[in-house]
């Protein structure tokens, strides 16, 4: 029997890698996060990437106890996928696994920027959060929407670019703070 989790990841990885490459080629933008979703059978795999400025309000390396406390709180919040991305109760979803953390990155000289709120110098640091989740849902067909409580938890976040792959195909969406519900009627 084929391991369904491995199958889900095999199906979604090319899409996620393409999305990652596209994001890397574009300008870094505060307020914009990315969520990849793969649905296969009763399993749902999610991958979230979000700029540090959106999650904790800064992108520099934590320097004070207050900064480190903000990072700890953020990782704890990001470790609760069903509190950030609310699915209908009828779907009966539970968390199988959850991991969240901080990824440090440095810009190369000459990289494009879509903002001016930090020193423009070689090696300017941009911190990003990364989270991966695996859910098991008793009835995934009951998922007709996802409510993005993510925006309530992280007030600096403005938009989430969503890419989803399921048995019905692949779709791309934009979910904004002003309209934090993703309508998935008929797509799962």
Yes or no: say if 180 and 148 are a contact pair by the CB < 8 Å rule: yes
Give pLDDT, residue 109. Answer: 34
| Series of mean pLDDT values for 10-residue runs along the chain (188 residues) | 47 46 47 94 98 92 92 97 98 98 57 40 67 98 98 97 95 98 93
Domain extent listing, the chain: 4-25+32-110+121-183
Among candidate residues 79, 131, 133, the one with its CA nearest the CA of residue 103? 131
Of residues 73, 70, 19, the one with CA closest to residue 46: 19
Q: Determine the pLDDT at residue 105.
A: 53
Which pair of tokens denotes residue 152? Answer: 């309530």
3-state secondary structure of 48: strand
Provide the whole-model pTM: 0.77
pLDDT at residue number 59: 86
C-alpha 175/C-alpha 104 separation (Å) is: 25
Model pLDDT, residue 7:
46
pLDDT at 104: 64
């Amino acid at each position: 029997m084929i391991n369904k989790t491995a199958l889900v990841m095999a199906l979604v990885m090319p899409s996620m890698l393409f999305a990652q490459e596209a994001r890397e080629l574009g300008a870094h933008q505060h307020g914009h996060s990315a969520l990849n979703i793969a649905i296969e059978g009763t399993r749902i795999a999610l991958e979230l990437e979000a700029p540090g400025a959106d999650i904790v309000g800064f992108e520099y390396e934590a320097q004070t106890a207050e900064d480190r406390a903000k990072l700890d709180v953020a990782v704890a919040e990001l470790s609760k996928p069903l509190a950030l991305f609310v699915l209908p109760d009828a779907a009966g979803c539970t968390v199988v696994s959850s991991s969240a953390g901080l990824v440090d990155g440095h810009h190369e000289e000459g990289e494009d920027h879509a903002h001016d709120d930090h020193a423009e110098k070689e090696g300017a640091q941009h911190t990003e959060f990364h989270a991966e989740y695996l859910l098991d849902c008793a009835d995934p067909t009951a998922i007709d929407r996802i409510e993005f409580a993510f925006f309530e938890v992280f007030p600096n976040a403005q938009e989430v670019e969503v890419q989803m792959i399921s048995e019905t195909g692949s779709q791309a969406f934009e979910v904004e703070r002003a309209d934090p519900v993703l309508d998935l009627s008929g797509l799962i």
